[in-house]
Amino acid sequence: MTKDLNVGDKAPAFSLATDGGERVSLKDLTGKPIVLYFYPKDDTSGCTREAVAFTALLPKFSRLGVAVIGVSKDSVESHAKFKAKHELGVVLGSDPDGKVVQSYGCWVEKSLYGRKYMGIDRSTFLIDPKGKISRIWRKVKVPGHAEEVLAAAKAMANPS
């Protein structure tokens, strides 16, 4: 288990294969703010609503220069189908071995109908242009979440 991440910590490095056959990494995005959101599974109801919400706000994130990346343990092929089916615009990173999920502390014990199992805790990290964690949302509830992240990104881009 990794240490808990806190606001102000250096974001753990990542390099992930994406749905488009490319790679996305923290190093390549240095100098840009990043929204890195972790979700349990492609094409499930909550994960679909979250990806659709971030896609709807993508033009606003783009105007702020913010990269938005969704991460799950699903394969690149699964991501590509998920993206095509729902016309998603966000980049989806594949972390099949769960190393990035674990480095961000998102691999947790969950419980469903009394059965305990390990899974991804729906979490979002706002990373500043210097690679430091600016905001953390854990146990995310999907309704209104993308809007809240956008507001935090705006505040980070335009500090008063």
- Which residues are CB-contacts of 86 (< 8 A; sequence separation ≥ 6)? 43, 48, 51, 52, 55
**Catalytic position from the list 24, 47, 68, 71:** 47
Q: How confident is the model at residue 156 (pLDDT cuts 50, 70, 90)?
A: confident
pLDDT for 107-138, tens place per residue? 988 888 889 988 899 999 999 999 999 999 99
Give me the mean pLDDT over the 60-89 stretch.
95
Q: Where are the domains of the chain?
A: 29-157
Q: How confident is the model at residue 17 (pLDDT cuts 50, 70, 90)?
A: very high
Nearest to 129, CA basis, from 64, 78, 53 = 64
**Token output for 2:** 């990794």
Other CB atoms within 10 Å distance of the CB of residue 138: 15
Selected residue with higher pLDDT from 1 and 51: 51
Q: How confident is the model at residue 96 (pLDDT cuts 50, 70, 90)?
A: very high
CATH fit for domain 29-157, picks 3.30.420.40, 3.40.30.10, 3.20.20.80, 3.40.1790.10: 3.40.30.10
Grouping H, G, I as helix, E, B as strand and the rest as coil, residue 80 is helix
Active site residue 106: no
CB 119 within 8 A of CB 40: yes
pTM score of the predicted model = 0.93
